[in-house]
Amino acid sequence: MFKSLMKKVEMSLPTSNSSTTLELTDGRAEKLEFTQVKPTKFTVSDSEFSLKSGVNIDIEIQGVHLEATSKELWPGQKVIVKGGIEAGEAPMKASAKIPKGKNIKDGVDGESWLYWTVETPDGVMKNQKPIHMEGKLYNLPPTGTVFTSPELVSLYDLEGNHKGTIYNCAQAN
């Protein structure tokens, strides 16, 4: 039996740094270092508590807006990443699991599923499969947390043509 612990609470993450490798279909690639353009807002929704398993926390990431300056693919030009409401889409999902007998300050598993709109000088690309990020949370908002994803995620233009791949995604808050 699960019990609801709280109603929605809005939070924001004022700064973070992210990186990912973007590889185009012609084989050219670059590791992009992103900075956060504005605070990332998110909502911690109803959490469920079970005496047997602990607490499951559902999180909606309202919007992400990141920017990098390309050094190799488009020297000196901007690459912009938007997600959620910033990209005109639905909020992205995240969660945290606090096992029975643990406190979030002990470090608990957190994960997110991100959909990005990547604006490049050569056009807009989107992922159809989420970028699955994982990390250890020590508090909310998740300051001091590093999220990573080892997955390869394909990017497509607005007509559905495969244009590239991103991998080695990392975010430090």
Q: Quick one: which of 110, 113, 114 has its CA closest to 136?
A: 110
38-75 pLDDT, tens digit per residue, is 898 888 875 666 556 778 888 999 999 999 999 999 99
pLDDT on residue 110: 94
Is the pLDDT assigned to residue 3 strictly greater than 50?
no
pLDDT on residue 51: 57
Is the pLDDT assigned to residue 4 strictly greater than 50?
no
Residue-wise over 82-104: b if at least 16 C-beta within 10 A, else e? bbbbbbeeebbbbbbebeeeeeb
Please answer whether residues 66 and 35 qualify as being in contact, where contact means their C-beta atoms are separated by less than 8 angstroms: yes
Q: pTM score, two decimals?
A: 0.88
In degrees and rounded to multiples of 5, residue 90 shows phi and psi of -70, 155
pLDDT on residue 2: 40
pLDDT on residue 139: 87
Please answer whether residues 127 and 154 qualify as being in contact, where contact means their C-beta atoms are separated by less than 8 angstroms: yes
84-141 pLDDT, tens digit per residue, is 999 999 999 999 988 888 888 999 999 999 999 999 999 999 999 999 999 999 988 8
133-147 pLDDT, tens digit per residue, is 999 999 888 888 899
